[in-house]
Amino acid sequence: MESWYLAEAGKPIPAYSEAELYGIKTAVWDEFSKKAGFRAQDFSPESKTVKLFRNLGIAAALIVAVGIGFYFYSTQNTKDNRLVNKQTTPVIPGSNRALLTLADGTKVALDNSKNGELAQKSGIQIVKLADGQLLYRIPKSTQKTGLEHLSNTIQTPNGGQYQLILEDGTKVWLNAASSLRYPMVFSSHDRVVELEGEAYFEVAKDKKRRFVVKTIQQEVAVLGTHFNINAYPEESSVKTTLLEGSVRVTEKNKGTGATVLLKPGQASQFNGGQFDVKEVDTEEAVAWKNGYFVFDNEDLKTAVRKVARWYNLDVVYTGQFGAVEIGGSVSRFDNIDQVLQVLRLTTRLNFKVEGRRLIISH
C-alpha cells in the first residue's frame, strides 16, 4: 500500500489501495478523454494506454511532489538566509555618541548634530566641537545670577563616549553607558556635578570653590586636580583613582561618614565599612580614555563588562565560573575578534559572538 505525502507540510494524507488509486485515475482520465478525443477502450483495465497513463500519472505525481518539496525547501532556505543576514549586525567599536538634555527638556542627539552652536540659553552658548567635544561658552556680558539652577544632562549609550568642557573650564571625559548632570553655571559656593558610570576629570583650579562629584555611594571633593571615578551601578563599589593633586572621598550611602584623603597614584574603594586604599597603576585606570583596554589581573566578569559596554553586547555565561583573572592590553578600536583573542589567551575560555550576544563557556 502506498502513502502519499504533502511536500510542504511533511504530513501523510490517507493511504489508498492500488484499486482505489486506479479508480481515481481512471475517473480523471475518462473526463480528460472526452475533451482530448480518446476512445473508452483505451482506458479499460487491459488497455496498454491505461497502463501507460497510469505509469505516467504516478511519475508525474512524484515529479510534482519532488518539485513542491524543492520549492518549499528553497523558499524556506532563502527566508532563513535573509533572516540570518537581517539579524547579523556587525559588532563595531564604540564612537563619539551622546544625548544632551537641556534644562527645558529639549533633547539633542550629539552624534547627529553638526559642529557649531547647538543652542543658546540665557546668554550661554552650547557649542559642539570636532572629535566629540561639547563646550559651554559664557560671554562676559552674560548675567550669571540664577542660572545655577538650570541643569543639563549628558548621557552616553553602550558603545558611546563624549568629552565635555564645563563653564569653569573643567574637562570631563565620559565613558560608555554613563551620565553626568551639571549646572549650566556653577554657584558662587561649590561646583557640584552628579555622575553615574565612569568619567575622567581634569578640574580647573579654583581656590574659593570646591569641585564635588556626587555618585550614589560617595562624594569626591577637590579644588583642582586630575582623577577618574568608576561608579557603574552594576559594579560592587565605586573606585576613585587620583592622578594629580589631592581628593577627599566621603562615603554617603552606608551612613558611616567614612572619609579618606588620596595621594597621586592611589585608588580607593569602600569595603566593609571603611575605605580600602591601594597604590595603583594610574595608566590602567584611564586606559579607556586613551583608547585602550588594560587588564591587570582583573576579575573576568569585571573585564567582560568593560568590553560589553563598549561594543554594545549582552553577556551570556554558560556554566559555572570560579575565580578567573585576565591580563593584557588591546586597543578599544580593534575588531572585536582581536579583543576576544586577548581574553582567550589569558583565560583559555571560549568567547563567541552571536548577533548582539557575547557567549562565554569553558
The β-bridge relationship of strands 325-331 and 292-299 is: antiparallel
Note the pLDDT of residue 121. 79
Q: Do 108 and 227 belong together in one domain? A: yes
| 334 within 8 A of 343, measured Cβ to Cβ | no
| Grid coordinates belonging to 338 | 582581536
Q: Do 164 and 304 belong together in one domain? A: no
Q: Do 202 and 325 belong together in one domain? A: no
Q: How many CB atoms lie within 10 A of CB 189?
A: 10
Q: Do 279 and 297 belong together in one domain? A: no
Q: Do 128 and 175 belong together in one domain? A: yes
Note the pLDDT of residue 203. 97
DSSP 43: G
Domain end, chosen from 42, 61, 87, is at: 87
CATH number, domain of 351, equals 3.55.50.30
| 108 within 8 A of 102, measured Cβ to Cβ | yes
pLDDT digits (tens), the chain, 362 positions:
333 333 333 444 455 555 554 554 445 445 444 444 444 444 444 444 444 445 545 545 544 544 545 454 445 544 444 443 344 578 999 999 999 999 999 999 999 889 999 988 778 899 999 888 999 988 877 777 777 888 999 999 999 999 999 999 999 999 999 999 999 999 988 999 999 999 999 999 999 999 999 999 999 999 889 999 999 999 989 999 999 999 999 998 777 889 999 999 999 998 877 899 999 999 999 999 999 999 988 999 999 999 999 999 999 999 888 889 999 999 999 999 999 999 999 999 999 999 999 999 99
pTM: 0.75
Residue-wise pLDDT for 167-176, tens only, equals 999 999 999 9
Q: Which residue has cell 586613551?
A: 290
| 295 within 8 A of 346, measured Cβ to Cβ | yes
Q: Do 227 and 166 belong together in one domain? A: yes
**Number of domains present in the structure of the chain:** 3
Domain extent for 354: 292-361
Q: Do 209 and 297 belong together in one domain? A: no
99 vs 270: CA distance, rounded Å: 31
Domain end, chosen from 238, 265, 285, is at: 285
Domain end, chosen from 87, 110, 139, is at: 87
Q: Do 241 and 330 belong together in one domain? A: no
Q: Do 245 and 344 belong together in one domain? A: no
**SS3 state at 339:** helix
